[in-house]
Structure 1
Amino acid sequence: MLNLLIILAERFSMIGLLAFILSKANFFKKVISNNVSYKDLSILITIFSLIGIIGTYVGIPINGAIANSRVVGPMIAGLLGGPFIGLIVGFIAGFHRFLIGGFTALACGISTTAEGLIGGIIKKYYKNTVDWKIAFLAGIIGETLQMVLILAISRPFASALSLVKVIGIPMILVNSTGIAVFMLIIKSVFDEIDTIQSRQAKIILDITSKTIPYIRNGLNSDTAKIVSEIIYEAIDADAVAITDMKTILASVGLDEADENCHLFKKSEVNAFRFKKVYVENSKKGLCLLSSVTAPLYCYDELVGALKIFRKNKFVNSTDIEVAKGLSNLISNQLEIADAENQKRIADEMKFNALQSQINPHFLFNALNTVISFIQYNPDGASRLLITLSEYLRNNLRHAGKWITVGKEIENIDDYLFIEKARFGEKINVVKDIDGDILNMYIPALLIQPIVENAVKHGILPKDNGGTVIIRAKNNKDFIRFSVEDDGEGMDNQMRLKILNGESGNNAGIGLHNVYERVKSIYKGAFFKIDSKKGYGTKVSFDFPKFYDGKKEEFSGGFKVSNSR
């Protein structure tokens, strides 16, 4: 038995080596990050089926049976991909074993399929990567099941019993340990991904904090030079360049010959149409120059590119992800710069509407939340940063314009996502929106200020938070909107002051502005505030149905505010 244990361990080392090599593959990293395509799943099934089959072939023939490590492939496939993947891989490896024959063929085929399913069931209840101790226990359960099935199905029973006495303990120990080792390798990959994502997020945030004052002045040779130098120092690149559509505005680390060779190419422009980065590797004599080019946009119009270069080595995944993140943030800042330079900002009301959306306190708190997420939830930090970017972009882009009800709800969802990341379970949201009104048009920021008011001044002051209910119902001639919270509420005196614009502080500006906006567009509109101190507030109003997406920008005498 000891000799068998040693031989099994030696032969399993071949599978262990394959596992280590596999852990370095990009598709494998996608799998453990739960970011897979059908192609990745097909590759996963194929590879782990082969691991199961290899486990059979490197096994040790004993009395008409095979002591093997076949279970490792199906079990790991289940632990990674879930019940369906585990079942398929288990069936393939098990059916292959059945075709080989022998008096244990049927028992081994059934047990291999079952072990893949067991791994998948465990994965279903452990949403994150399965701990190696759980994997070890799963291996023991699976291999014990195999021994039971051999005794129950294989005949003659005496031969089956004799076989289990010889291979039982060695296979249970070696294969369970192998499965645990495999999961430890996976955990190391997961830790590596977390480290890389944390570093990427930190780099992008550091660069953003340093470049915002300069990008706000627009894209020109002066600002491009400063921004290029900041990026060059932050990511330790061999060269960085920023271009417009015709020339390289500024570069750091490129000589004149390199600059002349790296303007926009047709292939780059084609890639940019789909908002993708472009990676190129070129040789100049004995020198390799590898670059990643990320497009820069202003209101969906391509205006230039950020280029990061590596000399004598290829750009890596970190370079690509950093380029993507920086291009998005620079594009957002270019839009802000463009918005600030538009003539319509000269109109005081629209200027106030625009400025109110860049609430420094909200932005400061959101960025602090992102920074805290980086330490323990890099994926969450990335998603939060993207949502914040989209939230600011949409508020700036839509200021003073008409948008669909669906787009307004999306903007509200982005706001609530950011606030829930900060306050967690203190904020609960219920939405009741009729689907047939989502494509109707309303002024931008018609509902959002009321929701912000309900969150900031309604439920957050309460120790346990509360619930905000957002409704939009299709009536015969109009849409009935309502926002209700079970927060602090207000007395009747304050309610009347808000409607009359006499609140005297920020607590009523948001509601009063929406009230004035509705009245200016819909004469005689229904607008009601129901509130009771300590019991919450409900704001309801009607708005006419507009189907025309070309509704002119409104310019009535009102301003938009984030505050109550």
Structure 2
Amino acid sequence: MLSPAVDVALIGAVVVITLAVVAVLGFRMSRSHRDLGSDADRATYATLHTVALASEHLRSGLTPAGASRASRHLRGLLRCQALLITDASGILAWDGTQGPPANILQLAQEVLASGRTQIFRRPRLAAIGLEDDRMAEAVIAPITVNGRVVGTVGAFASSVSAGLVRATNEVGGWIATQVELAELDSSRTQLMEAEVRALRAQISPHFIYNSLNAIASFINTDPERARELVVEFADFTRYSFRRHGDFTTVAEELKAIDRYLLLERARFGDRLKVSLRIGPEVLSTVIPFLSLQPLVENAVRHGLDSSTGTGNITITAHDAGAYAEVTVEDDGVGMDPERLRAVLAGHVDGVHVGLRNVDSRLRQVYGDKHGLIIDTAPGAGTLITLRIPKSQPDHQA
């Protein structure tokens, strides 16, 4: 048995070691805490993170599903007992400890009508069936987009402070910004669809008229050839006027171009010379629908329509690292670079509307750095280059 003195010494040693371990752990924890920044830094990060999570659910605008998911994050941001989101006609989301009162929409309708933030206190809330002390007061702010009140956001708490009023107003403004971005995306999509319709309209009068004339010229002299051309014409127009999808593949676009050129050869005969150099590794690359055919049509029209000699067109497609690079070159009359710039900018209407529409769509989809690259001069032909990202997870053919 150890003596009392030794027992005391051992106990003291254990205490010292324990204190030392606690001190080290405390130092490390405090240092880790400091690495996260100040209290203000951490609060800023938490707020931005919450806003980022909520924004994912409002990308399509004010929808019931998106508002419901976003309300969970926004309620935590405002630190209120319940959060309400409405559009102009009804409740989109309610996030709280209990379901919404049956007449809660009456409060939102007052804010929709006035366009101003309003505070509602216990007597008014009790009148619509809300008698929970934890939600004795509410602040409801309008969601205003381009001067239109499109909805409301409301925070319910035991008491409404000036800080909660300001925060709810800010959340209403932030939701309005998300709705505006969603409308912008929708407008951008509608613009792309309109440009595709414009390209189809461009194909219709010029190409269809000439193709039918070429087919008609073979009916008596070579009926079999006429039948083949009718099939190719049907396949080409079916592709050009299809109603599904904004994207296709390089392979599908080249297949349509092959049909188009077959019909044009029936018209121009040996005057039209086409050379193809296609890398198989880029055939599956996704591209905007009708983004190559108008370039080939431009080459035919300006390489042969305005001349009596032979027109040479070269189409290439190859791997260029992260991009698929496609070129369409002709040795035709060329264009004045200044006029071309005005056409692409939309300042001049004319026969190059197809080039402008393709250039505009490429920039909308991939950014301003991905428009058409055009090298041309009067009498020097035209070389048009497209560079399409090979990786496009958001686009499906």
Return the TM-score normalized by structure 1: 0.35
Structure that is richer in helix per residue: 1
Which is higher, the Rg of structure 1 or of structure 2? 2
RCO higher in structure (CA 8 A, sep ≥6): 2
Return the TM-score normalized by structure 2: 0.48
